[in-house]
Amino acid sequence: MKCFKFKSVISAVAMIAAMGAFSSVVAAPAKAAKPAKAAQDEVIKIVRVDDSNFEKEIMNTDRPTILDVFSSSCPPCLIMIPTLIDIAKKYPDVKVASVGFDEPNVQKIKNTLPIQAFPTFFLIKDGRIVNRIQGAASEEDLLAALQYTPKAQPAAKPAKAKKTGTQKLSCSTNGQFSGIQNHVTMNLVITDDHIDNVDLVTDVFVPPEMDGRRDQLKQMFIQSGKGTVEETITGFRLHTANESPFIKAMNMQRKSTYAEMKAGLELQGFKCK
């Protein structure tokens, strides 16, 4: 397969200071109590990327890399979070990186990468794109497209399973899609390290100047097949429930803990409670 060479396209990015995301761990003072809330980089090993650290983390890394380009308004992007967490946990020799298309300071990345859909996964080796996948994909598909056989973490000594019981997680963020503002809320029910239920609500706000296109926009969301659509005062609501055909078709991986999913969603700009 013909490879896309990064360095010939974005040499200007080399002038930007590299800032690693989720890469530092702050040590607690001696005799200090252990923090109740774990730092995100202690929970998941996914690197957040923007123009400032793209050169360091993607172009010049010596590790095979899966780069996830996502939008917070994209249900399949959210469905992929547990899969990316699992790859990052199991295969330390593979870098998993993530860039938010709607985030600030990503214009050079947008101008460099051929992005036409969300999520898009760029599989990178030695500074070259060796493959690209659009849409949700399984762990097996991503690793195969990377053209690399990763080394799994050495098996740890069996430890007594820590039971946390059932916990509820609610995370939300403001986003946009094609210039239309929306508010996305993801609710999860998690027992120990398994996601029992996922419920995704996207409230779309249709501005007055686009009110004449309201029916057209509504039909676009209905035809996407991502859930049920109902009109609201300010626009309409897209509801993707746990048992919806869309969630079942995505075959969402469910093996993630509360802390991992909270950190994964916060990595994508969500505020959780």
Active site residues: 74, 77
229-236, Cβ contacts within 8 angstroms, sequence gap of 24 or more: 232/203, 234/203, 234/205, 234/206, 235/180, 235/203, 235/204, 235/205, 235/206, 236/204, 236/206
Under DSSP, is residue 69 helix (H, G, I), strand (E, B) or coil?
A: strand
Give the orientation angle of helix 81-90 with respect to helix 258-267, to 10 degrees.
Answer: 110
- Provide the phi-psi class of 216: left if phi over 0, else alpha when psi is between -120 and 50, else beta: alpha
Question: How far is it, in rounded angstroms, from Cα 262 to Cα 273?
Answer: 9
